[in-house]
Amino acid sequence: MTTLSFEGKVAIVTGAGGGLGRQHALALAARGAKVVVNDLGGAVDGSGGSVSAAEAVVAEIRAAGGEAIANGASVIDFDAVSAMVEQAIQTWGRVDILVNNAGILRDKSFAKMDMADFRLVVDVHLMGAANCCKAVWPHMIAQKYGRIVMTTSSTGLYGNFGQANYGAAKLAQVGMMQTLAIEGAKYGIHVNALAPTAHTRMTEGLMPQEVLDALQPEAVVPAMLVLAHDSAPTRTILCAGAGSFEAAHITMTQGVYLGAGADVPEQLAEQLAKVTDRAAEMVPPNGSAQGSHEFAKAVAAAGKP
């Protein structure tokens, strides 16, 4: 097997002061990357802040012979994020990899959730990732190379009680990934998403202890390395946890053509099982594929060549 090397690469990892982000930063550095260790240093709910967590990880990397610098920018502050990217450019001349890992939780059932908490979680996860992507994007275009890893979640992909805010933000990251991968393709920029299952302070108390013990953050790192490497795919959603790896897909069924008659609502209700039948479902290459598929069925139903 060919070793996944990151020699000569410069990586930014957000939320890297602890948990999964720390493991990402350590692994990239151990394989040769120069790493910007970003962490606001706040609590799980986003309150507070200190650069000491990021500095501790930098010290670990340097003690092991690697290169790293600390950064305490909040990802929701675009000016601070832009300064972070400039810090990397001034230090090492380029940015090759961005791992959007920063996040917070403010869990409550939707009925009890304050909308300020909804907005803050969306701001950190979605706008934070967007800010970081925007800040590195011109540099990656100029060098015609880039690897961006979004951190999505099974909550975003499939839902989870008490996490409407978190789930909305995490699936939105997938939508951003899909478009950025299309737009970045001609510049050699690959954009992917990672859905981790790991025992960190964000999952403390959410699962039985024996399950948490099996879900070590280190077990997720291989998926990140694959998605951030020269050989990475693009527009791929990898799931990882406890040493297991899967792929998730946003698919579309073949569906049925019903036309535009007055009784189409009743026909659709009767044929909903056929519409949702997953046999021969597809993974559309882009958003326009839905319209193309629907138009082709309409043309076929009209008997046109």
Q: Looking at the annotation, which residues are catalytic?
A: 166
CB-based contact 75:129 (threshold 8 Å): yes
Count of residues making up the chain: 305
- φ and ψ of 132, to 5 deg: -65, -40
Question: Where do the H-state alpha helices sit in 114-235?
Answer: 115-122, 128-143, 154-158, 164-184, 209-214, 221-228
Burial environment of residue 110 by CB neighbours within 10 A (0 to 12, 13 to 18, 19 or more)? exposed
Rounded-to-integer distance, Cα 131 and Cα 64, Å: 31
135-166: burial string, b at 16+ Cβ within 10 Å, e else: bbbebbbeeebbbbbbbbbbbbbeebebbbbb
Name every residue whose Cβ is closer than 8 Å to that of residue 205 and which is 6 or more positions away in sequence.
none
CB-CB contact of 199 with 217 (8 Å): yes
Q: How far apart are the first and last CA of the chain?
A: 51
Q: Is the dihedral of CA 254, 258, 264, 267 positive or negative?
A: negative
The single-letter code of the amino acid at 20 is L
> C-alpha 237: how far from its chain's center?
8
240: DSSP letter:
E
d(CA 294, CA 142): 38
